[in-house]
Chain A
């Protein structure tokens, strides 16, 4: 068990290292350098050279890579020349809104997908199956940013019931930033109307980000539940006199847990990627918005950190999922040993 875990961890670290090489190559190899963009038209050649030296842009690639790795893992992320601020500050300001959006989306979609999957497989109904399938295909096929625009159009313009592309809170509210999570901060400030407002601002972004995730999860869950449901032991359990629900719960649910667990790791990746597109549509002040802006400016410091953070988070979460799976289904160890 320990050796399995430590081996997986070792592989995870190797992946992160490999990812760092990929991230580094992708940005350094491309032509064009940011010195001009950063300093403007009136910078002299010496000033440009100074900028390049300060940012190590004139050193050899391995030297730059080493500095990049060292700086990333020690938290020395440098300065963004798109805004003059420290990159750590920029991420500090923007991580919380993105995490809030992602976490709320995750909870809502997992709850909804699980419930719908259970309802539709326990006692199958044709119309429900059709509806869920249709919704799933829409979720898989419609680009998230388009879904966002459609929802804004319908629920914010045609039927003006929800806030549209307006960030986390109506501008008339002013709430001091304590944690960075708007839901928490409004409660801490004791401002209930602001809390309510923050929730309404979350509805459309969560729906947009969550649709694709929901589609993916509900299909996996239904497939797992259906597959297990077909098997003999469910009939056997019923024959033993245990209720259908108990049999379903004990065997179907338990075995469907494994794919669901694996899926959660994948879902993180989808959420990370989704925020990049969805935040632009809703003017959500998060990391995705920061990234989109930094790409155009070739603001290496910001884009590098984002890419590294995503990879690290994704690998670590999937590693944790692997370990938890071990607890849930020890058969994995046997498979590995074969």
Chain B
């Protein structure tokens, strides 16, 4: 099958089936999944196969250019940049997943509640969502993180707060569409319990939207975390967070030691670009147009 035929065959199927999902992804998306898995495994097992430590300072070995023993050079305190980048990648991936789970759970739950219970509750939830969407997402994340103080937990809360509103909006319109279909009224009339209604009638239909939003929040979350790290909010020392590493490397870069900032950024690019490729492929498979403009990406 050519790429176009495969896409045409897959489009409009509406829902991803559990079996064969990997084959349904586009070629580049499959590569991306593999890349992310490789990075995650490498980061998790780094202590087993890479001899250099990520937090042992060594003034004598400071600012060394990339070499065989230090493929990404050393930073201002003599620590191996490669080890730190690997550990940072693991942290970013883990954080991105946690944030996305929280955002999708909160956003999805609110959307379902708002969609199924019209009236006052819906109004309140929508007003809150609109108020949060009044801010550009990154600015809201910065404001909340600044308000809560530095730390991994505040950064995660801040990013969840800035991403769940869009999830709510997207999922709610799906829920409203389902309500219009009549299944729900019928089920209620038959006496099906609300939780069962949600589980059997609502969730399957919003799962596509949730899945795509999940991928998008992972991508945004990783970049936002790096951005917060760059401003100085977020994860604490000496934990190697990729954005904070880029910040630490900015002055050395002007002084000639470019590797301290460049490599963490490359790793971020690799991870986030891969997630975006996967998200795009999911969009195609699950028939989810761009939520803000309606364009079918």
- Please give the residue numbers on chain A whose beta carbons come within 8 Å of chain B beta carbons, in ascending order: 11, 14-19, 21-23, 26-27, 29-32, 137-138, 140-143, 145-147, 149-150, 152-153, 157, 164-165, 219-220, 223-224, 227, 258-259, 262-263, 266, 268-270, 272-273, 276-277, 280-281, 291-292, 295-296, 303, 307, 310-311, 314-315
Q: Are A150 and B243 in contact (CB under 8 A)?
A: no
Minimal beta-carbon separation of A148 from chain B (angstroms)? 9
Q: Which chain B residues border A281 with CB–CB below 8 Å?
A: 250
Q: Give me 7 other A-B pairs in contact (C-beta within 8 A), A26-B144, A272-B139 excluded.
A: A140-B276, A142-B265, A142-B268, A147-B265, A266-B292, A269-B137, A314-B134
Min CB distance A266 to B, Å, is 5
**In the assembled complex, B232 has its CB within 8 A of some CB on chain A:** yes
- Chosen A-B contacts, 30 in total, with CB atoms closer than 8 Å, are A15-B133, A18-B127, A18-B134, A26-B146, A30-B149, A138-B273, A140-B276, A141-B223, A141-B272, A141-B274, A142-B273, A145-B230, A149-B246, A149-B249, A149-B253, A153-B253, A153-B258, A220-B293, A223-B290, A223-B297, A263-B293, A270-B136, A273-B136, A273-B139, A276-B142, A277-B227, A277-B230, A307-B139, A310-B136, A311-B134
Residues of A within 8 A of B146 (CB): 26-27, 295, 303
* Contacting residues of chain B (243-276) with chain A, CB-CB under 8 angstroms: 243, 246, 249-250, 253-254, 256, 258, 261-262, 264-265, 268-276
* A15 pairs with B261, CB closer than 8 A: no
**In angstroms, how far is the closest chain B Cβ from the Cβ of A157?**
8
Contacts known (A14-B130, A16-B134); A26 close to B143, Cβ less than 8 A: yes
- 7 smallest beta-carbon distances between A and B, as pairs: A18-B131, A269-B136, A146-B265, A141-B273, A273-B138, A141-B272, A26-B147
- In Å, the complex CA distance between A268 and B293 comes to 14
- Residues of B with C-beta under 8 A to A27: 143, 146-147
In the bound assembly, the distance between CA atoms of A89 and B125 in angstroms comes to 38
CA distance A314 to B223 in the complex (A): 21
Interface Cβ pair total, 8 Å cutoff: 175
Evaluate contact between B131 and A137: CB separation under 8 angstroms. no
Q: Which residues of A are found within 8 Å of B137, using beta-carbon distances? A: 269, 273
B233 within 8 A of A: yes
Number of chain B interface residues as a range: 35 or more
Contact, CB under 8 Å: B262 / A296 = no
Q: What is the distance, in angstroms, from B99's C-beta to the closest C-beta of chain A?
A: 16
Report the bound CA distance from A67 to B109 in whole Å: 35
Distance in Å: Cβ of B262 to nearest Cβ of chain A? 7
B131 touches A219 (CB 8 A): no
Chain B residues near A16 (CB-CB < 8 A)? 134
Interface residues of B (CB under 8 A from A): 127-128, 130-140, 142-144, 146-149, 219, 223, 226-227, 230-233, 243, 246, 249-250, 253-254, 256, 258, 261-262, 264-265, 268-277, 290, 292-297
Report the Cα distance A145→B142, complex, angstroms: 15
Distance in Å: Cβ of A122 to nearest Cβ of chain B:
18
* Contact residues of A: prevailing secondary structure: helix
Contacts known (A149-B265, A259-B295); A310 close to B139, Cβ less than 8 A = yes
Contact between B230 and A137 (Cβ–Cβ < 8 Å)? no
Q: Is the CB of A143 within 8 A of B227?
A: yes
Q: Do A14 and B127 have beta carbons less than 8 Å apart?
A: yes
Q: A270-B136, A295-B233, A311-B134 are in contact. Are A140 and B273 (CB under 8 A)?
A: yes
Do residues B296 and A145 form an inter-chain contact, with CB atoms below 8 A?
no
CA distance A29 to B144 in the complex (A): 11
- Complex: A85 Cα to B127 Cα, angstroms: 36
Residues of A within 8 A of B143 (CB): 23, 26-27, 303, 307
A218 CB, nearest partner CB in chain B, Å: 11
A167 to B258, CA, bound (A): 21
| Residues of chain A lying within 8 A (CB to CB) of residue B294 | 258-259, 262
Docked complex Cα distance between A219 and B136 (Å):
20
Residues of B contacting A15 with CB < 8 Å? Answer: 130-131, 133-134
Closest A residue, CB atoms, query B32? A137
Q: Once the chains bind, are B277 and A137 in contact (CB under 8 Å)?
A: yes
Q: Give the residues in chain A near B127, CB-CB below 8 Å.
A: 14, 18
Given A149-B261, A220-B295, A277-B231, A22 and B131 touching (CB < 8 A)? yes
Complex contact A140–B272 (CB within 8 A): yes
With the chains together, A261 CA to B133 CA distance in Å?
18
Which chain A residue has the least Cβ–Cβ distance from B264? Answer: A146
By a CB distance below 8 angstroms, the chain B residues around A303 are: 143, 146
Which residues of the other chain, A, contact B256 by a CB distance below 8 angstroms? 157
